[in-house]
Structure 1
Amino acid sequence: MRARAAYLDVVFRPSAHALFAAVLFSLASCASPAKNGVSTPDRLLMLAAGSYDNVKDRLVRLPDGLRREIEWRRTPPVDARGVKVTFDKEQRTTSWRLDLTDVKGTLADLVGTSEVSNLGRSGDQDVYAVRGGPLGGSLALVTGDDVSLFSPAYIVNWQKDLLKFTRQ
């Protein structure tokens, strides 16, 4: 009986290395979505498409009945203090607006390309066209450290005052 107990003790007792590996993999799976090796522009597209909805802080149905707003404040998936995505519920992947507050880095870092050109001003915000990269075709409005990104479809449907910048 003693031999059997010793055998079971050796076979079923995990080694220190196995325990360390298990803890390491557990911690890696709990990592923030912003830290998993995905580039910032790709994370922004994933935010717009709904990939990070399970870790949202707030979901609001807007009064028009067609749009939703999702907000991240505690653990935003990108390097910003807060993120809000407004989207058309029937065209989520193509019709979206991303509002980022207190963004770390430059607009070129955020959108993943240096192909960003200043188109002028809309009110107190600078308007930029993103010409290349994953977010190519979108417009960015910048005020200090705050950035709003608009997909072309969102501009056509919901932000008609920015249409004049899409023709430049």
Structure 2
Amino acid sequence: MRTRIIQGDITTRAVDAIVNAANSGLLGGAGVDGAIHRAAGPELLAACRELRARDLPHGLAAGAAVATPGFRLPARWVIHTVGPNRHAGQTNRALLVSCFSESLRLADSLGARSLAFPAVGGGAYGWAGRQVAEAALDAVNGFAASHPGSELELVEFVLFSPEMEAAFNAVWAQPR
């Protein structure tokens, strides 16, 4: 499995699935979440409302992941995951790692060969770029070790800011 770190707009990526840094309500929001909802069109909001009514009446828990179609996006699927909110006292790093791990697992189960992540937990949820990058790297390494037969070939980290891109590049450059 190859990884790539780029600065850009995740809504334009021609990959099988993109990950949405969602809130627990799954009904859109600011940042990446809002951008994905706008680009996917109103069908995404309708699908999320149906998920909430049918399967997630209390919302999606931090660290969990669920998929919807991508609708008007180039990506076939949107995988929604909720990062722990440091500003709300959710400082359990394992939940942050789980966002990446569960998204990788779900992408694999959907048959995705390519997946793009934003900096889940960064930005509004208060995790520093280095912390997000370390959690992402741990999840990717753990997934690769535990799923040797996965057809997932490419994992991209599509980061909005140069600072976040630099944090990911610095973590990935360290020997482990």
TM range (shorter): under 0.3
Q: Which has the higher strand share?
A: 1
TM-score normalized with structure 1 length: 0.27
Task: Name the larger-Rg structure.
Answer: 1
Q: Structure with the greater relative contact order (CA < 8 A, sep ≥ 6): 1 or 2?
A: 2
TM-score normalized with structure 2 length: 0.26
Q: Which has the higher helix share?
A: 2
